[in-house]
Structure 1
């Protein structure tokens, strides 16, 4: 039986992974790098298969709840680990009441529910985990800084070999229909940056997973920039290192790019700057190298960016 931590989806390809979410129902889609679940008078959800174990495992993700939208009865988003029949461990973001609930339900009811005022930034990330007989509900502004909101003894059904299902669910009783969105389910540690960005490290800027910036970005390090996975920038990018730029996978710049290193530019995979307008340059006082099977010595002509036809 796979652990719940093995369920990983970044929702970045705009196609629902039917292998991960075979039980999904209602109006769901994957768009803009997020899972989108309609919040209307029906019930819609991303739903995994009934096959996971929570014992000694965890699930975490980024949640964007629906708005109250003029509702007078209910409007919410839920994150559930469930055995079925209203038996589950869950978070609920109640948009109407402005409350975050931590629940362990049986028959759709929890007499000991923990409810706190919902704070969009402080509660942006949610995690449910099980360790040594204890279930823990945590929140955080990012997936590195967690605050415990509730603990309780692990229910017998979650501690044994019961196969569990994971759901991302939304619903409203009335008001204006909209949607809840979810992102980065169990995505390995790294930094996901949305918008203009400046990442600076005096020694080394490293990402075990990936560094993503859909907007403009400046990544600067006195020693080195190192990405064990990949570094992706979808607009203008400035990558600078006094030592070197290293990518075990690949570094991609979707717009104008400047790659600067006083020592070398190295890629075990590839370094790509897809710049139709702008300027790409490698400021390398000593011989640079690209270790994807051959050594390359770049040349530059003033005023002509790499790959330009002008």
Structure 2
């Protein structure tokens, strides 16, 4: 079908995708995760058909929750598995919370006498990866799904390179006894839950010019994730001071009578007047 690295699932739609068509034991998709019931004496798993290829490829997954001990006396297992046609021949990362171990296994007949075993840490081993490259098989873990630490590597088993379109990815849980609980996996071959990408557009003109007045500013600082937001209140501008001068002109005109429109009437003099010629 395709390289295992092309199988991607965020488990966010609440429906087991058709690629996991061989799932079993009450497996379900809920809360944005693949949930596997861990019930005494019962296996539960997400599993693809055996039509994928690991050679030259990889598969990784987040493990938010491993099945807790809850009274189990031998094993409460949470397992990330690559399987093929021969039963018991698998490549696995096996977490057993009863023993508090994480094992990196190359199983034949369900066992691996050379498995690498470490103390399990939910934080240190939060992401699990199995990959093949250039004739070497690798088991890796990560705290964040970005920076990886190699835990084991071996020469690639022959069946990995010969099993083109013939392997399956599997995640399962199992306990020998104790109270039922569950394991949860998330983000198969993707870090979608923690990374958001936003595409925006802008129209630019090669020879355009933008001018702006000088504006004093202060960067206050903000910590935002990819999908966060920053709200700002309206900006208030204050005039700190101003000194203005203005010149004004006041013009005034005396209200003197205009004397160029007087009419002089000349007539016969009356008594009491002192006159001179031409009336003398």
Moved over 2 A (4+): 206-209, 218-221
Give a deviation string over 1:139-184, Cα, whole Å, max 9, x none. Answer: 1101111111000011001012341011110000001110010000
Q: Identify which of 120, 123, 126 aligns with 1:124.
A: 126
1:26-37 alignment runs, 5 A limit: 26-37=25-36
Distance 1:161 1:86 in 2: 15
Aligned to 2:175: 172
1:54 matched residue in structure 2: 54
In structure 2, runs of 5+ residues without a counterpart are: 200-221, 236-280
SS where residue 53 of structure 2 aligns?
coil
Specify every segment of 5 or more residues in structure 1 that has no aligned partner in the other structure, as ranges.
194-205, 210-217, 226-230, 232-236, 241-257, 261-280, 284-310
Could you say if the C-alpha distance between residues 3 and 71 of structure 1 is closer, same or farther in structure 2, counting changes exceeding 3 Å?
Answer: same
1:220 Cα deviation after fit: 3.6
- What secondary structure sits across from 2:52 in the alignment? coil
Larger Rg: 2
Q: Closer, same or farther in 2 for the Cα pair 1:282/1:207, shift >3 Å?
A: farther
For residue 78 of structure 1, what is the aligned residue in structure 2?
A: 79
Displacement of 1:190: 5.6
| TM-score, L = length of structure 2 | 0.70
Q: 1 or 2 for the larger relative contact order (CA 8 Å, sep ≥6)?
A: 2
Residue 138 of structure 1 is aligned with which of 137, 140, 145?
140
The alpha-carbon distance between structure 1 residues 132 and 220, as it changes in their structure 2 partners (threshold 3 A), is same
* Alignment partners' CA distance in 2, 1:157 and 1:67: 33
Q: Is the 8 A contact 2:82 2:169 kept in 1?
A: yes
- Whether the 8 Å contact between 1:190 and 1:207 is mirrored in structure 2 is no
- Within 5 Å, give how 1:150-169 maps onto structure 2: 150-162=152-164, 163-169=166-172
State the shift of 1:16 in Å: 1.1
Which residue of structure 1 aligns with residue 19 of structure 2? 20
Distance in 1, Cα, partners of 2:26 & 2:193? 30
Residue of structure 2 in register with 1:88 after alignment? 90
RMSD after superposition? 2.3
Of Structure 1 and Structure 2, which has the larger fraction of its residues in strand?
A: 1
SS at match of 2:170: strand
- Mark the CA change 1:109 to 1:282 in structure 2 (over 3 Å): closer, same or farther: farther
Instruction: Give the corresponding residue for 1:69.
Output: 70
Is the Cα–Cα contact under 8 Å of residues 47 and 165 in structure 1 kept in the other structure? yes
Q: CA deviation at 1:191?
A: 6.1
